[in-house]
Amino acid sequence: MSLQRFLQTAVSEWMNGEGPDSDIVFSSRVRLARNLRNHPFPLLATDTEADQVVQEVEQVVRSEEFQNLGRYELLKLDNLSALEKKVFVEKHLISPHLANESRNGAVVLSENEAVSIMINEEDHLRIQCLFPGFQLMETWKMADKIDDLFENSLDIAFDEKHGFLTSCPTNVGTGIRASVMMHLPALVMTQQITRILNAINQIGLVVRGIYGEGSEVAGNLFQISNQITLGHSEEEIIENLYGVTKQIIEHERAARRSLLEHNKLQFEDRLCRSYGILANARIMESKEAATRLSDLRLAVDLGLITGFSAHIINELMVLIQPGFLQMYSGKELTPEQRDARRAKLIRERLSAALES
């Protein structure tokens, strides 16, 4: 494996559009926060102490037991340019915090990019597993397996009363963040989304944008995750999120049926107009591109527009991000240049899909 392979492959396995209920649930994610007992937390660590953490984690990753899980590569962020780190953020392989604020950070990536282990982010370890579609239980099992390997080799900070100790008090306990990335355009169009999101917030779950905490919702993609990590087991947290997600899926399907039954002409017109704009526009801002691609994805999922796969649309959702646009252009671009390049890329990719 090489750095260029991770940078140049736009779509990770979790974005391939294949998985249970993948027309609504784009991905399932489980992230575990862990710290080493005998080292200061990253926010207080010196460069030497942070380097020592990277070395200890690397020893585990190089072990035979770990490599039996598959091929993994450790990359140090100091060796990446600002643009390369931005691409990794856009692919959800690292967090904005690790890219921009951590010192002596690193990331361990599996070959298929389903596993990403951030080192020296807010915590010494952020073990992240991402699976396509609605596969929360399977994602949790993989994360738990990797966690066991680290616990067997490293002295993890754990308290009998409080559980796993973390930099942020909101992660103390299980240290788990389980989430689903959901595409909910019909609930937005029928103006039901606010009511549903308010209900979600009242039962210990939180809704964020596509890049997690502090990010805006774009393209009707909502990240729904647990907020409470203390007082419940990992399985209870997963099961609660699983049950709520099943209900949201049912509401989204019902909203799609309602739009087709009661506003079919206007509904189809909106989706087809978005396709027409995507196929012909010469300038496209990122927010509009996300909205239009959301419409196209919905039209494809409902069979209203044929010739495109979910994989192609997922790929475009990544490729239109600023980092990827500049990576493929081989140079930094002004916002105006990015808008023109984004429109051109979308036109070319949709045209190529129809010809293939």
Q: Which residues are annotated as a binding site for ATP?
A: 27-31, 92, 126, 177-181, 208-213
Q: What is the DSSP string of 212-238?
A: BTTPPPBTTEEEEEE---SSS-HHHHH
Three-state secondary structure call for residue 178: strand
Across 133-185, the runs of DSSP E, i.e. the strands, are: 158-159, 163-164, 176-183
Chain position carrying tokens 């051109």: 344
For residue 175, give every residue at least 6 positions away whose Cβ sits within 8 Å of its Cβ, in sequence order, or none.
32, 33, 34, 123, 163, 164, 166, 229
Q: Between the CA of residue 331 and those of 10, 308, 318, 340, 342, what are the distances in Å?
A: 17, 30, 18, 14, 14
Residues annotated within the binding site are 27-31, 92, 126, 177-181, 208-213
Q: Are strands 72-76 and 205-208 parallel, antiparallel or unpaired?
A: unpaired
How far does Cα 6 stand from its chain's mean position? 15
